[in-house]
Amino acid sequence: MSITFIAKEEFFTFHDPMQDGKLIDRKTEIRMDPLTGETSRIIFDPGAPFTSTDYSEQAKQTEGTKCPFCPENVHTFTPKFPNDLIEDGRIIQGEAVVFPNLFPYSKHNAVVRMCDQHYVKLDEFTAPMIANSFSAAHNYLTKVITQDPETAYASINWNYLPPSGGSILHPHIHVLASEIPTNYQLIALASSEQFHTETESNYYDSLIETERKTDERFIASVGSIDWVHAFAPKSHTDFIGVLDVSSLDELNDNNWQDLAESLTHFFRYFESIGIASFNLGLFIPVSKNSSERVHVRIVPRLTMGALQTSDMNVFNFLHGEPLCLKVPEEITKEVAVYFSK
């Protein structure tokens, strides 16, 4: 079995009042994820530009003494880990501070306060700041695995700004680990193992090789990371980075530097199209597995129109069906320019 890209077009016929009542056919494209078989829909893009929100005023209202992550509070307002896990209760690595999440999502759940600055706009993130934060998260996960060998699944997650679900403006990332996978981790692992059994190949290696050959959604390579746009996106854009390592203990500072450099390119692109918020998930196999690779996905988050309508609706949450306004192959060409600058 090789990687196949399956899409089906559907057309809806109606009289369009915006075109003097002309009878038109409007297309929806349903695409199947080449790994899991899950579908997503490329829908009609009315061409309205995305508009980003500046949170400078909200930052003034929430910074300093009002923010638990600001420098004057982070060492007193945040909880501590037990000393048998982390001596002195927190990991301090440059400006990054790692501490427990007060209301955890998982058996192990750290928060990494990334820097001292309260509100960091996309163009203000630096590669050293990002790399240091992910390195600190890696440090925490290594300690967790040493103490709790039953842990089988790990991830590093970033909700940036309120549209993403981020409840605090101060930049921070979540680090999760457990013996119980999320739905995404479970489905991705089962599907990649099936692919390996049937083809004796690693899915992620095959994906990159295939995307390089077709040259439709391959974006760029940045050191140890190959970047593609998802064929069946989970949002209006969906960037997938495949690292050249397969497990937690293979990760090193070079990987974090490559990821950080990559993100600065994506951030410049997001700014150019009016996107200010995003979700990021980095999925890390704890044990080396010939079926898997460490990989990352980045999707934008936004609100639309005067009502600030959410970009997610019943299709995303109850049908489990992502919607995408943008054509992946067109987005690939646009974002690739930012990797050549």
The CA distance from 243 to 135, in Å, is: 15
Give CA separation, 109 vs 8, 57, 103, 178, in Å.
40, 30, 9, 9
Pairing mode, strands 172-178 and 153-160: antiparallel
User: Per residue of the chain (341 residues), what is the pLDDT tens digit?
Assistant: 589 999 999 999 999 999 999 999 999 999 999 999 999 999 988 877 788 889 999 999 999 999 999 999 999 999 999 999 999 999 999 999 999 999 999 999 999 999 999 999 999 999 999 999 999 999 999 999 999 999 999 999 999 999 999 999 999 999 999 999 999 999 999 999 999 999 999 999 999 999 999 999 999 999 999 999 999 999 999 999 999 999 999 999 999 999 999 999 999 999 999 999 999 999 999 999 899 999 999 999 998 887 888 899 999 999 999 999 999 999 999 999 999 97
The CA distance from 17 to 26, in Å, is: 13
Domain ranges (residues) in the chain: 56-339
Query: Which among 183, 179, 180, 161 is positioned nearest to 170, based on CA atoms?
Result: 161
* Residue 54 burial (CB count, 10 A): 10
The CA distance from 282 to 157, in Å, is: 6
Is 0.85 surpassed by the pTM of this model? yes
* Residue 318 burial (CB count, 10 A): 8
Sequence-separated (6 or more) residues with CB below 8 Å from residue 155? 175, 176, 177, 182, 185, 281, 282, 283, 284
Environment class of 113 (CB within 10 Å of its CB; exposed 0-12, middle 13-18, buried 19+) = buried
Residue type, 76: T
Q: CATH top-level class for 56-339?
A: alpha beta
Sequence-separated (6 or more) residues with CB below 8 Å from residue 3? 34, 203, 206, 207, 210
